[in-house]
A and B are shown apart, each in its own frame.
Chain A
Amino acid sequence: KQEVTQIPAALSVPEGENLVLNCSFTDSAIYNLQWFRQDPGKGLTSLLLIQSSQREQTSGRLNASLDKSSGRSTLYIAASQPGDSATYLCAVPHRGNTPLVFGKGTRLSVIA
């Protein structure tokens, strides 16, 4: 059974810092990996999707990497801003047309 773990559970940083969020998964037979952002009381916003054949994806100040063989992904946020404060979730489908398995998320606070 696929299990997804996110470390740390919570993180508080001053504005302007670069930071790394970690995601690990137990079964490397994944189809892709998706990073989401969730604001309090809101749904999930897709940030980045990395296909299983890719090693990284970039969008603005965000960069996500994927190492399937070791079962790890990292989300790098450059020059953090207070508006980045949210919970970040990673999720993997086991294969096509299967549901996403989520980690519990990392709750990020960026202090001005």
Chain B
Amino acid sequence: GAGVSQSPRYKVAKRGQDVALRCDPISGHVSLFWYQQALGQGPEFLTYFQNEAQLDKSGLPSDRFFAERPEGSVSTLKIQRTQQEDSAVYLCASSLPNGENTEAFFGQGTRLTVV
């Protein structure tokens, strides 16, 4: 596609509900990253995939957070039993295999509000 696509753009979940956030990266981009952005803060790393392999999940805040990319393209970030502190914008980024001139391209984000 022309850019990184994320859906839904907005999600309101009741506390305790499970949610799934989707990221469609730029075609051919092997690297895919998920970030969490709280209001007034910079994005913070959650997890990273190279193709279908999850190489780093050190940023996931708890075991309620789970991400997958089974075919090395579309990725899903799942949050189980959502809590109010999970309210944030979730950003997905993709890039080509890394070189010094590799740019990361971001989607529009999914704004999650837990009520």
| Contact surface of A with B, Cβ cutoff 8 Å | 4, 31-32, 34, 36, 41-46, 49, 51-53, 89, 91, 93, 96-105
Residue in B33, B100, B101, B109 whose beta carbon sits within 8 Å of that of A100 in the complex: B33
Q: Is the CB of B101 within 8 A of A32?
A: yes
Q: Is the CB of B109 within 8 A of A99?
A: no
**Interface set, chain B 85-103, CB cutoff 8 A to A:** 91, 93, 97-103
Q: Is the CB of A34 within 8 A of B45?
A: no
Residue in A44, A49, A91, A97 whose beta carbon sits within 8 Å of that of B98 in the complex: A97
The complex places the Cα of A104 from the Cα of B85 at a distance, in Å, of: 19
A54–chain B nearest beta-carbon distance, Å: 9
Q: Is the CB of B104 within 8 A of A31?
A: no
A109–chain B nearest beta-carbon distance, Å: 15
Q: Is the CB of B107 within 8 A of A105?
A: no
The complex places the Cα of A32 from the Cα of B100 at a distance, in Å, of: 6
| Contact surface of B with A, Cβ cutoff 8 Å | 4, 6, 31, 33, 35, 40-45, 48, 50, 55-56, 59, 91, 93, 97-109, 111
The complex places the Cα of A32 from the Cα of B93 at a distance, in Å, of: 16
Residues on B with beta carbons closer than 8 Å to the beta carbon of A46: 103-106
B83–chain A nearest beta-carbon distance, Å: 23
Q: Is the CB of B41 within 8 A of A101?
A: no
Q: Is the CB of A43 within 8 A of B106?
A: yes
Q: Is the CB of B108 within 8 A of A43?
A: yes
B46–chain A nearest beta-carbon distance, Å: 9
A107–chain B nearest beta-carbon distance, Å: 9
The complex places the Cα of A34 from the Cα of B102 at a distance, in Å, of: 10
- What 6 pairs between A and B have smallest CB-CB spacing? A102-B42, A96-B98, A99-B45, A44-B106, A51-B100, A43-B108
Q: Is the CB of A89 within 8 A of B42?
A: yes
Given contacts A99-B33, A99-B48, A104-B40, contact A43 B107 (CB under 8 A): yes
